[in-house]
Amino acid sequence: MSADLSYKEQLLQKIASKSARVGVIGLGYVGLPLALLFEESGFPVIGFDIDPKKPEALHRGESYIKHIGPHRVADAFARGRIQATTDFDRLAECDAILICVPTPLGKHRDPDLSYIRNTADQIARRLRPGQLVVLESTTYPGTTREELKPRFDARGLAAGDGYFLAFSPEREDPGNPKYHTKNIPKIVGGLDPASQEAACALYGAAVDSVVPVSSPEVAESAKLLENIFRSVNIALVNELKIVFDRMGINVWEVIEAAKTKPFGYMPFYPGPGLGGHCIPLDPFYLAWKAAEHGVWARFIELAGEINTSMPHYVVDKTVKALNEHGKSVRGATVLVLGLSYKADIDDDRESPSFEIIELLKDLGANVSYCDPYIPRARKVRKHDLGLMSVPCTADEFGKYDALVVSTAHREFRNPALYAKAKLVVDTRNVVASSNGNPHVVRA
């Protein structure tokens, strides 16, 4: 490659020839499918993670994420274009580095950027001329410019000339059979025109559609808007569920009727609370940043208040239903169906099922769970639940005083499973209609 070419031209040539080495930091639900996509698109890839178990599993051809099949992992690593490591010194080998690390909330619902900052420091120590760095982790507007750029500039390189920087929000929906990393449009906001061109070229070589925007701040805000939209609308139907329940109206039937309107309406569905890596957390990043500018994001705060209260609502409904069946919650046996935050996946991050279990245990219930995707409950919140999933059978379900349907796994939609059930508290509308059935209670 000619030494007369600028760093940008050299990088664009490498991308065009698919010789650019792509580094992906964080091999979880976002980073692993992204790393596999670039490998499948013909690029050499290095995946980085601080957990040594992940690279070890990947090199054995094993997948630790259920909806990413082991054959896909095994095939990718057998071709020899992709490697996984805990050695961050190898960042210097990469022409493009994509950051896919967690962005949790602190104790007071303030943004915890420690993973982003630590990762940026790791990159900065090894940053070399001509590298492209893209942040994919969801965060508040300004993070790319305020947190990453100063760290990289301190190396003596100029953004848009010596190195390139952009934000491109992840849009993963684990387990979605229709939309995946390759066919979900990729928003890209570069710090400057050269960074924008480089980042768009890179993603354009692997995904079907790239959506350029004018700045990292627009890209950061777009991801937050997507998640806030869902959070607010889920809160709305959760509140309406409580209101309609008091009126003796089935909210699920109301939603089915409303969604027949071909315009001006989009169906959202109630549940036991929010879960996952985005919706329970990301809106508060914008609320925190808004407060810094003297603005109160009232819809975000109200939606958060409603959604976080739903596990308490479910437990209250369970206690009342047990009482109506002549049972006290203290000493009652309760089986929670589902630990995953959504149906048919093994992702339990921020799942409301954990809080439901803990609230019931605090009231003196003997609680078990069933989830065919999660054989053992991990340690969360107050304590290690120390639970293993029970069998998903009608005989097993018949042993409990109450079942609480928290996740709409396809396995739980079999009516035969509930043939011996004494009481079902259904938060997901998966059991046969409760109308006229004293054993099924909507919650």
Closest of 172, 163, 161, 125 to residue 144, by C-alpha: 163
Q: Judge whether 202 lies within some domain.
A: yes
Q: Is the same domain home to 179 and 295?
A: no
- Provide the domain limits for residue 154: 7-214
Check whether residue 304 and residue 367 sit in a common domain.
Answer: yes
Q: What are phi and psi of 187, to 5 degrees?
A: -75, 135
Q: Is the domain of 180 the same as that of 88?
A: yes
* Count of domains forming the chain: 2
Q: Which residue has the tokens 């493009």?
A: 96
Contact 276, 350 (CB under 8 A): yes
Check if the beta carbon of residue 381 is closer than 8 Å to that of residue 356: no
**Final residue in a domain of this structure, among 167, 190, 214:** 214
> Are residues 89 and 14 located together in one domain of the fold?
yes
Pairing between β-strand 424-426 and β-strand 440-442 as defined by DSSP bridges: parallel
Last residue of a domain, one of 164, 198, 214: 214
Q: Same structural domain for residues 205 and 278?
A: no
Same domain, 416 and 339: yes
Domain limit, last residue, from 214, 243, 264 = 214
CA nearest 185: which of 224, 211, 204?
A: 211
Answer whether residue 139 is part of any domain.
Answer: yes
**pLDDT tens per residue across all 443 residues of the chain:** 555 789 999 999 999 999 999 999 999 999 999 999 999 999 999 999 999 999 999 999 999 998 898 999 999 999 999 999 999 999 999 999 999 999 988 777 788 999 999 999 999 999 999 999 999 999 999 999 999 999 999 999 999 999 999 999 999 888 888 999 999 999 999 999 999 999 999 999 999 999 999 999 999 999 999 999 999 999 999 999 999 999 999 999 999 999 999 999 999 999 999 887 777 777 888 888 888 889 888 998 899 899 999 999 999 999 999 999 999 999 999 999 999 999 999 989 889 999 999 999 999 999 999 999 999 987 665 546 778 999 999 999 999 999 999 999 999 999 999 999 999 999 999 996 655 566 899 99
Q: Which 8-state DSSP code applies to residue 379?
A: P
Q: Two tokens at 316?
A: 């209250």
Task: Look up the CATH number of the domain holding residue 308.
Answer: 3.40.50.720
Q: Is residue 232 part of a domain?
A: no
Task: Tell me if 221 is assigned to some domain.
Answer: no
E runs forming strands in 260-388: 333-337, 366-370
Same domain flag for 266 and 207: no
Asked if 54 and 190 sit in the same domain, the reply is: yes
Q: What is the pLDDT of residue 251?
A: 95
The strand order across the sheet containing 333-337 reads 366-370, 333-337, 402-405, 424-426, 440-442
In a domain, 224, yes or no: no
Domain assignment present for residue 237? The answer is no
Check whether residue 350 and residue 415 sit in a common domain: yes
Distances (CA, A) of 29 to 68, 69, 169, 297, 422: 9, 13, 14, 29, 38
Residues identified as active-site: 278
- Kindly state whether residues 208 and 320 are assigned to the same domain: no
Phi, psi dihedrals of residue 102, rounded to the nearest 5°: -65, 155
Of 45, 47, 14, 41, nearest to 205 by C-alpha is 41
State how far the alpha carbon of 363 is from the alpha carbons of 299, 312, 329, in Å: 32, 12, 7
Q: Are residues 63 and 192 in the same domain?
A: yes
Give me the pLDDT at residue 435, please: 52
Residue 240 lies in a domain: no
In this structure, are 69 and 159 located in the same domain? yes
pLDDT computed for residue 201 by the predictor? 98
Q: Is residue 53 part of a domain?
A: yes
